[in-house]
Amino acid sequence: MSAEAAVTRVGEIQAMLGALRGQGPATGGATPPSTDFAAKLQSATAATAAPVATAAVAGGSSTPYDALITESAQRNGVDPALLKGLIRQESNFNPAARSGAGAVGLTQLMPATAAGLGVADPTDPAQAIEGGARYLRAQLDRFGGDEAKALAAYNAGPGAVQRFGGVPPYAETQAYVQRVLGYARDYGSPLHGSLASSQASSSGTLLSNPTPIGS
């Protein structure tokens, strides 16, 4: 049953209840229904309303560009929820976003990185999402499928991840990794234990800001 049909059905049941209680437009008065019958109608109302509430909750996980994100994620073999989390953190789904370092678009690619990924216009959502998915896939391949390390490489550069043997002790990068993984979890990703590994690697001395993507 669609949400619209469910709402209509709830209205019909509530109207029936009102009429049976003598609150409707019926003439000559109405005999109040038995307690058992009224209880059954109340139960039916609750059961019919449930799909409406469920639909509202389910709709909370949708994001702009869902179709493009899912297609690029599947094409590049990455978790769509992880890619959504990355885009949310990078640009909050603003295709015109620009950083002070020169990163552009939904996935905040530096110009040289964008060109290397075949992205001619990083402000174009389809190109930016595809480029970001390709770059994320490359980092996952580089770091054995570890989402935390791949995200750290996306933020701070793969050299930093290799140099420190994991998520670098940069405050910005460690916060970035945990936020993206948290968003991905909200969007439905199991994350394969990466959230725990990223938190475990966050101990130690924190250093200054990392190098922008692609520089």
φ and ψ at 24, to 5 degrees? Answer: -95, -170
Question: Which amino acid is it at 177?
Answer: V
d(CA 198, CA 202): 6
Q: 171 in the Ramachandran plot: left (φ > 0), alpha (ψ -120 to 50) or beta?
A: alpha
**Residue 90 is among the residues annotated as catalytic for this protein:** yes
Alpha helices in the chain (DSSP H): 3-20, 35-58, 66-76, 80-91, 111-116, 125-142, 147-156, 158-164, 171-186, 194-200
Q: Is the CB of residue 111 less than 8 Å from the CB of residue 157?
A: no
Q: CA-CA distance, 63 to 69, in Å (whole number)?
A: 9
Tokens 């709709």, residue located? 59
Based on its alpha-carbon atoms, the radius of gyration of the chain, rounded to whole angstroms, reads 25
From 71, 90, 130, 147, active-site residue: 90
Q: Measuring CA to CA, how many Å separate 193 from each of 37, 188, 198?
A: 51, 14, 9
For the annotated catalytic residues, the residue numbers are 90
